[in-house]
Amino acid sequence: MFGPGSQFHRFFNDPRWALAVIRATVLEAAHPQIGAALADNSSFVTHPWRRLRNTLVSLQRMFGADEHTRKREAARLNRLHTRLSGTDARNRPYDAMDPEVRAWVVATLFESSVTMYRLSGQPLDQDAMEQLYAEFQAFLAALGDQAGHLPPTLPEFWQYFDRMVAEELQNTEALRIILFKLFEHLPAPPLFAGLPTVWATGRALAGPVIGTITVASLPEAFRRRAGLPEVPGAQTLMQSAYMAARLARALPDNWLQTENVIGLLHLSPDGDGPYAETLGALRGRMKRAGALLRLITPVPAQQDGTAGTAGTGGTGNRRSAHEFFTEVLDQTGDGFLDWPDLAAMARELCSRLDLDEPEETRLYDAFAAWWRELQAALDSDGDGRVSAEEYAAAAPSMAGPALIRVAEVLFDVTDADGDQSIDAEEYRLLFRRGFGRSVLDAGGRYSRSAFVRDFLSFMSGRQRSTPYDPLLSDA
């Protein structure tokens, strides 16, 4: 069911899979419980590339051949989902551990995988479809969910899927954000940081097209019930996009490997990886192209949401309290600081370090204590969250004992060998870049005291920092 011989492994590196994942995400967001969880807790609006990378890595682990890796990832996902529960704007409960909700997530991935083949003129035969469905059932079982939450047979699955589309799915806030905000306001990935004109110009062309293709690929019954727009020619555009993605499979294999896509999402303009020199040359050419574009069609930097972010590589470059609030603290992008924002920070750090219990819980607990301290110090109107104005008025309160504890716990979980210093391998795991000379002491080590000092300087002093800035603010 898993590994190189599986049906899933065949299409994981297929260019059409990108369209299928977007479609599946929209169908997930249309489920009331999933939509509410996304709206309240997810950083997919402000950090979509980070979310995409983490999703790809998780799927690789779950469908890989190594059983130990799959069990670790399943346990991590279950811990993550256990922390996602609450009530939506209508006071309806949601719980990411609800087995019916988890079954729907798997159902959308399977159905969208089948659909990507059909829309590209290459429908799966019955045997391949049966095998693929068995693999997704095994995926759900690997998470520990009991049989029965997905129908046992393929004919029963299609009845289940049609019923969910007709009766359960809704035009949720999360769905509207994905279709009508995310694509048209997509922040630049690290590769395009500092190139707002190039990115904004490309996004202005591609964003509406991606949204139109995605809407056109959704089940017709849901499109009608949700009142989604019918754009003339959308069906032709959508089928052309799937056909083009199918033809793209003729590209060299190393262009299509998911591992390479993940590596591309890692790339940073000030990184030092093996492709740093090539990336630098490419960015130089893009900057020249951007200068030409500005002469032809000026694009204000603020349209890209990157105003004030150029030059983040300089350690002496300060930013305003409002910029820090927007770029670092407000992880969910709702304009307020509350527990889901700090939980998103903890989630990203745990993911980078691939933590197990109890280290993961220690880090979450440290962030939870910091949130309680922030709420007590900054929430002046008592509404349970901190606005940008409340933060700016009392920003010095950020550097309290709980934040120091966050820094110390983060050092502990990064220092995997427990030698009270962070070596080059541990540093790269957290920051995804090599050592900078400025962080090392006379002995060539990154000590606990230096780490805590730098973390506090970044998180409380709003000091731009080459390694720390991408840690929590990259898209």
Same domain, 233 and 345: no
Give the integer Cα–Cα distance in Å for 315 and 170: 47
Domain boundary among 232, 249, 266: 249
Range of the domain at 185: 7-249
Q: pLDDT value at position 300? A: 47
Same domain, 237 and 329: no
pTM: 0.85
Same domain, 11 and 137: yes
What are the angstrom distances between the C-alpha of 459 and each of 321, 454, 472?
11, 9, 10
In a domain, 179, yes or no: yes
Same domain, 21 and 134: yes
**pLDDT range class, residue 312, cuts 50, 70, 90:** very low
What are the angstrom distances between the C-alpha of 296 and each of 195, 198, 309, 398?
16, 12, 23, 44
- Taking all residues of the chain, what is their mean pLDDT, rounded to a whole number? 85
Q: Compute, in degrees rounded to 10, the torsion defined by CA atoms 433, 461, 472, 322.
A: -140
Mean pLDDT of 148-153: 89
**pLDDT range class, residue 111, cuts 50, 70, 90:** very high
* pLDDT 10s digits, 276-305: 555 566 556 665 665 555 555 554 444 444
Same domain, 234 and 334: no
In a domain, 95, yes or no: yes
User: Residue 94: beta bridge partners?
Assistant: 86
Which DSSP helix (H) or strand (E) runs through 166? helix 154-167
Give the integer Cα–Cα distance in Å for 227 and 210: 18
Q: pLDDT value at position 475? A: 73
Helices (H), 354-445: 359-378, 388-393, 401-414, 424-431
Same domain, 42 and 137: yes
Which amino acid is present at 443?
Answer: G
Same domain, 117 and 240: yes
Does the pLDDT value for residue 149 go beyond 80?
yes
Same domain, 241 and 325: no
Same domain, 245 and 325: no
Domain boundary among 202, 231, 249: 249
* pLDDT 10s digits, 320-332: 888 889 989 999 9
**pLDDT range class, residue 316, cuts 50, 70, 90:** very low
Which DSSP helix (H) or strand (E) runs through 422? strand 421-422
SS3 (DSSP) at 89: coil
Same domain, 325 and 192: no
In a domain, 286, yes or no: no
Same domain, 203 and 75: yes
The structure tokens listed for 378 are: 């900054």
Q: pLDDT value at position 306? A: 39
In a domain, 264, yes or no: no
In a domain, 315, yes or no: no
For residue 232, is it left (φ>0), alpha (ψ between -120 and 50) or beta?
A: beta
Name the residue with higher pLDDT: 471 or 440.
Answer: 471
Q: pLDDT value at position 311? A: 34
Residue from 55, 76, 429, 80 nearest 262 by CA: 55
CATH number at residue 375: 1.10.238.10
Mean pLDDT of 443-463: 83
Same domain, 240 and 353: no
Q: pLDDT value at position 107? A: 97
In a domain, 447, yes or no: yes
In a domain, 271, yes or no: no
The structure tokens listed for 474 are: 């990259």
Give the integer Cα–Cα distance in Å for 473 and 329: 8
What are the angstrom distances between the C-alpha of 116 and each of 179, 261, 446?
19, 20, 48
Helices (H), 30-87: 32-41, 48-63, 67-82
* pLDDT 10s digits, 345-384: 999 999 999 999 999 999 999 999 999 999 998 999 999 9
The total of structural domains in the chain comes to 2
Which range, of 69-73, 258-262, 375-379, 421-425, averages the lowest pLDDT?
258-262
Q: Compute, in degrees rounded to 10, the torsion defined by CA atoms 274, 278, 281, 284.
A: -70
